[in-house]
Each structure stands twice: as C-alpha cells, then as structure tokens.
Amino acid sequence: MRKGRRWNLWKTSAVKFKQGENIAQIPISIRQPPIPRLHDPGREKKISDLVTITTKTFLRYDKLRLLLKSIRQYYPDMKVIVADDNETPEKIDGPNVEQYIMPFAKGWFAGRNLAVSQVTTKYFLWVDDDFLFTGDTKIEKLLDVLEATDLDLVGGNVAGNHFSFKLILEEGGEDGDCLHWREGVYHIIPGFPNCMLTSGVVNFFLAHTNRILGVGFDPKLSRVAHTEFFIDGLGCLRVGFCSHVSIGHQKQEYPKDKEAVEKLKKYNSFRENPLEQQRFKLGLLYFKNRLSCFTKH
C-alpha cells in the first residue's frame, strides 16, 4: 500500500471450505485506491492560485460592494465568486469577480452550493456579503494550517465572535440516535497554539474545495441554516478554529430614506424564522439523520 494514501473498500466477498459438517469462511476484501487530485500552485506560488473567495448576496448590494472593496485592498488578484438570487439583479463590476444569477429567493444553501461548485482552486474562503476585510484577515494563516494538517476546514472569528461548537453523536437503538450540540472546542491543534479542534465554526472559514463538495449544502434549507452543514459533515469533515485570524462585520445602520427602509423590511422578512419553518427544519433534521433526540446547551 502506498504510504499516506487512503484506500476505499470496493467489494467484500468470502471463500468457504467445507469438510464434513465443518465450514471455514475466509473474508476477502478488494480495495481500490482513490485517484489523487493534484492542484497546480502556480509558477509564482501566489495565494490567489490556491484560494478563491465565495459569497452569496440577497437584497444587500451596498454591503456586497463594501465587502469587495475591502477584499481588493488586501487581495487585489484573488477571484471572488458571487451567488446572487436577487429579484432584480444588478451587475457587479470589477476584475476577477464572477457573478452567478439564481432564481429569486432560491435560498441560502442553494447559493452556497452554486458558488462552491464554480471554484477551480484547491481551497475556497467563505464569507458573508456584509463582512469586511481588515488587517487581521490573514488568509495565509488559515492556509498554513490546512497545508500542514489533516483538517478539511478551518475558521476564524467575526468581529471577535468565533461561535465554535462540538457535535457529539450518541448511538441509540431502533428509534434512532441522539445528537448533542455543545459550545466550545476539543483541544489545541499540535503545532498551532492559536488553533483548536472543534465541530463547527462561524461563516468565515477556509476549506478544501473537493472535500466540501463531497458533503454539500442541503438546498432544502433556504433561509436560516448553519449548523446543519456541519451535522451533514459529522464524521467526514475535520474542523478547526483559529483565534488569531479575524474578519470585520459591517455596522447595521437604520436607513433614513423610504426606499432603503422598505428594502430593509423586505430583507428582514426573508430572515425571519417562523414556527412553520422551524418545524420543517426540525423534522428534516430528525428524519435525514435518523435521530430520536437533539439537545443544545
């Protein structure tokens, strides 16, 4: 077996020997090695050859433009992919910006799927459209962690909030398993004293493109959703959090003109999490993951 290579089980069979009333059964496993996926880091080994920035926007073009301006201040050559499900799309101009138009209000996770599906680099950085790059938004530091460890995804903090949490699955019986959500982290990642192993992080993270595509974002979750992605990746994705990398959050200022007020009201109506939506999400969570209980502390 080639060192450091994961082999996938392709087929299991058995050879049986019988002598009189005695039967010997020898299991035989046929394994198929996965084909490696190589990425060209570029001749000059620029970070823009390894990382693409992705985001989704909805009714917040003013926020998106501020985000893009801040990105260009620190990463002028990095490609940015925008998934856009606005009712009346506005063209986003600028070099190295790709804007993908979706059906109106298609949803949060559907937009994530679209944006990440268009990434051609080894890694992508996810940010919300109302974030703001600062001098502490050092993608290179997150990249160092992914390149040196077996982590699949590593997050930072947003204006001081890291929102890291642990997911603990307790195996049950015929009625299903029990999933426990807990705040906090597991332990420090060796070699990176500012980084901890955890199960989930905020909407600011750097991740292996192909590994995230293997999990995906459930498009049934069109509005308020976050933890659900990490639940889908539980047991598949290794997640970390680094406290020394951060991104800013644009201030929420109440608009003064009538048009802006109406736009904010419309946006907030889509951000609401009514009882019907909560019941749907909970039902999907229990059914899809075969759960009998879900606790959160």
Q: Are 125 and 54 in contact (CB under 8 A)?
A: yes
3-state secondary structure of 20: coil
Structure confidence at residue 266 (pLDDT): 65
Other beta carbons within 10 Å of 68: 21
Between CA 75 and CA 10 the distance in angstroms is: 43
Given a cut of 50, whether residue 4 has pLDDT beyond it is: no
Q: Which residues in 219-251 are b (16+ Cβ under 10 Å) and which e? A: eebbbebebbbbbbbbeebbbbbbeebbbbebe
pLDDT digits (tens, 9 = 90+) for 217-276: 999 888 778 899 999 999 999 999 999 999 999 987 766 677 766 666 666 666 666 788
158 with 249: CB under 8 angstroms? yes
Query: Using 50, 70 and 90 to split pLDDT, how confident is the model at 34?
Result: confident
**CB distance 123 to 208 below 8 Å:** yes
Strand partners, 162: none
pTM, two decimals, is 0.83
Rounded to whole angstroms, the Cα distance separating 125 from 142 reads 10
**82 near 100, Cβ under 8 Å?**
yes
**Tokens 């801040």 label which residue?**
70
3-state SS of the chain: helix, strand, coil percent to 5? 25, 35, 40
pLDDT at residue 124, as a whole number: 98
Q: Return the closest-CA partner of residue 294 out of 183, 186, 201, 168.
A: 168
Q: From residue 275, how far is each of 211, 268, 278, 291 by CA, in Å?
A: 34, 16, 5, 20
Class of domain 47-251+280-296 (CATH, top level): alpha beta
Tokens standing for residue 145: 């962690």
Give the list of residues 6+ apart from residue 71 with CB closer than 8 angstroms, or none: 53, 78, 80, 133
Encoding tokens for residue 292? 């009998």
Q: Indicate whether 38 pLDDT > 80.
A: no
Name the E strands within 219-290: 239-249
Q: Each residue of 104-115: pLDDT tens digit?
A: 989 889 999 999
The first and second tokens of residue 148, run together, are 């040196």
* Alpha helices, DSSP H, located in the chain: 61-74, 108-117, 139-148, 209-213, 227-232, 258-271, 275-288
Distance separating alpha carbons of residues 186 and 13, to the nearest angstrom: 39
How far is Cα 29 from Cα 158, in angstroms, rounded to an integer? 47
Residue among 72, 92, 230, 83 at smallest CA distance from 165: 230
Q: Which whole-number Å values give the CA distances from 29 to 7, 9, 23, in the listed order?
A: 11, 7, 20
Residue-wise pLDDT for 49-63, tens only, equals 999 999 999 988 999
Phi, psi of 38 (to 5 degrees): -95, 145
